[in-house]
Amino acid sequence: MSGAQAVRSRFSSPVTTMINLLDQNRENLNLLFDDKPYRGSQIFNWIYGKGIRDIHQMSNIPGQLRDELAKKAVISYPDVVEIQRSSDGTEKIAYRLADGHIIESVLMPEKDHWSVCVSSQAGCAMGCTFCCTATLGFIRNLGLAEIMAQVLYPIHAYPERTFRNVVFMGMGEPLLNYDTVIDAIRILSDPDGPRISKRRITISTCGIIPRLKTLGRDTEVGLAVSLNAVTDATRAGIMPVTRKYPLTELIDTLKGYQLPNRRRITIEYVLLKGINDSILDARQLIRLLHGLKVKVNLIPLNPWPGCTLEPPDTTTVLAFEEQLKDSPIAVMRRKEKGNDILAACGQLAGGKSHGGTKTY
Ligand code: SAH
């Protein structure tokens, strides 16, 4: 069977819906051309490596096969509906998904490269009280194309920029969209794809224990865990997920986590005034993390419209940091970026973060 026939036969169902090639991992693309799997590799490279959006640009694919493919498949990106630029250079991109939902990602300039912070879900089910995304509730998991587009779009829209890091710290809980996030990581780091090194990809999670148990085996990316409190009572009050996965179990799981060589887990700790910011909290944090290869990232709360919590004052933040500095644990304060456009950690809510009135 010719390649064209293979494409035809695989998609000759009477209910023809176009397939989105941007939604296919390497295995699926190879299956499209099971007589000539190298065609799948070529197409993989066009879509994920070169970022083309028109099947007819695939110049190493025979014309007849391109025509056949174009009858059955598209390369479809979510629409970019808004790009906001912060005074510090951070940019927030809002995408409209095919079903109308809005997701956001953030581009962060570093000294000589850029990082992309991507969303893994529309909305979020976790209900953390300090996070604006939580106010949306859970809408749905993002598909592969919707995650890949958040990296491919900026890479190809801004060829003068070097995008080196991808962090899954945008909207949603990446470990609750596990298979798709793993697929996306494999494509991102593929030598035929955008070639983002796995060392420069980080997943941030609130601590979904069953998934943490497989993640280190399934991929070798960096891990960040949102801890945010040192007792179950305090943590459950701000992160309901604690009731399902208590702190001691989370810490035990992290102790068993298979880390790539010489790497440390990042522990994210959002400082909330009067809730988790005392010297006692800092000391308990040191005890809790004893024996773990970690670095602590302190993040004073980024407020958003309607948020009832507050960040501690600078003196309190510095005192907390000093306690940790006196211990063997590495600590840093996260430089907040993009607060003025609600693009910092926990401020993403697809227009709702602007008071719920924004329409695109
Ligand atoms: N669900 C994942 C990823 C999204 S949240 C997770 O929980 O890690 C990404 C990071 O932003 C987390 O560390 C979270 O604790 C932090 N965060 C959420 N809301 C915040 C806010 N308002 N201010 C500062 N950091 C916040």
The residues annotated with a catalytic role in the active site are 104, 345
Q: Where are the domains of the chain?
A: 3-74, 79-358
Q: Given a cut of 80, is residue 333 above it in pLDDT?
A: yes
Instruction: Give residue 226 CA to ligand 1 midpoint distance, Å.
Output: 7
The pLDDT score that the predictor gives to residue 360 is 64
CA distances from 288 to 31, 255, 292, 307 (A): 48, 11, 9, 29
Q: Which atom of ligand 1 is nearest to the CA of 300?
A: 24
Give the number of the atom of ligand 1 that is nearest the alpha carbon of residue 173.
1
Tell me the three-class secondary structure of the chain, residue by residue.
CCHHHHHHHHCCCCCCCCEEHHHCCHHHHHHHCCCCHHHHHHHHHHHHHCCCCCHHHCCCCCHHHHHHHHHHEECCCCEEEEEEECCCCCEEEEEECCCCCEEEEEEEECCCCEEEECCCEEECCCCCCCCCHHHHCEEEECCHHHHHHHHHHHHHHCCCCCEEEEEECCCCCHHHHHHHHHHHHHHHCCCCCCCCCHHHEEEEECCCHHHHHHHHHHCCCEEEEECCCCCHHHHHHHCHHHHCCCHHHHHHHHHCCCCCCCCCEEEEEEECCCCCCCHHHHHHHHHHCCCCCEEEEEEECCCCCCCCCCCCCHHHHHHHHHHHHCCCCEEEECCCCCHHHCCCCCCCCCCHHHCCCCCC
Ligand 1 centre from 72 Cα, in Å?
Answer: 40
Mutate-to-test residue for ligand 1 from 128, 212, 335, highest number of ligand atoms within 8 A of CB:
128
Q: Which atom of ligand 1 is nearest to the CA of 170?
A: 4
pLDDT at 358: 65
Q: What pLDDT is attached to residue 16?
A: 59
Band of the pLDDT at 13, cuts 50, 70, 90? very low
Residue located nearest, by CA, to atom 11 of ligand 1: 345
pLDDT of residue 217: 93
The CATH number of 3-74, from 3.40.50.1470, 1.10.150.530, 2.40.70.10, 1.10.443.10, is 1.10.150.530
Q: 21 C-alpha vs ligand 1 centroid, how far in Å?
A: 32
Q: Which residues line ligand 1 (CB under 6 A)?
A: 130-131, 169, 173, 204-206, 226, 228, 268, 270, 299, 301-302, 345-346
| CA 235–ligand 1 middle distance (angstroms) | 14
By the 10 Å C-beta count (0-12 exposed, 13-18 middle, 19+ buried), 186 is classed as: middle
Neighbours of 6 (CB within 10 A): 19
Name the residue with the closest Cα to ligand 1, atom 15: 226
pTM, full prediction: 0.93
Whose CA is closest to atom 18 on ligand 1? 346
Range in 17-26, 166-175, 219-228, 346-355 with the lowest mean pLDDT: 346-355
Q: Tell me the pLDDT of the chain averaged across its residues.
A: 93
Indicate if 79-358 has the same CATH topology as 3-74.
no
What is the percent of the chain where pLDDT is above 90?
Answer: 85
pLDDT of the residue at 336: 78
- Range in 35-39, 89-93, 96-100, 265-269 with the lowest mean pLDDT: 35-39
pLDDT more than 70, % of the chain: 93
Q: What is the pLDDT of residues 207-224, one digit of tens each?
A: 999 999 999 999 999 999
CATH code matching the domain that covers 79-358, chosen among 1.10.540.10, 3.40.50.300, 3.40.640.10, 3.20.20.70: 3.20.20.70
* Ligand 1: centre distance to CA 327 (Å): 25
Nearest CA to ligand 1 atom 12: 226
> Hey, which of 169, 201, 205, 294 would you mutate to test ligand 1's pocket, going by the most ligand atoms within 8 Å of its Cβ?
169
In tens, the pLDDT along 315-326 reads: 999 999 999 999
Structure confidence at residue 355 (pLDDT) = 46
Mean pLDDT in residue range 29-38: 88
Mutate to test the pocket of ligand 1, among 136, 204, 269 (most ligand atoms within 8 A of CB): 204
Per-residue pLDDT at 10 exceeds 70: no
Distance between Cα 301 and ligand 1 center (Å): 9
| Mean pLDDT, residues 97-106 taken together | 96
- pLDDT, tens only, 247-264: 999 999 999 998 887 899
* CA 143 / ligand 1 centre spacing (Å): 21
Residue bearing the CA closest to ligand 1, atom 20: 346
Tell me the average pLDDT across 69-93.
96
At residue 142, does pLDDT exceed 80? yes
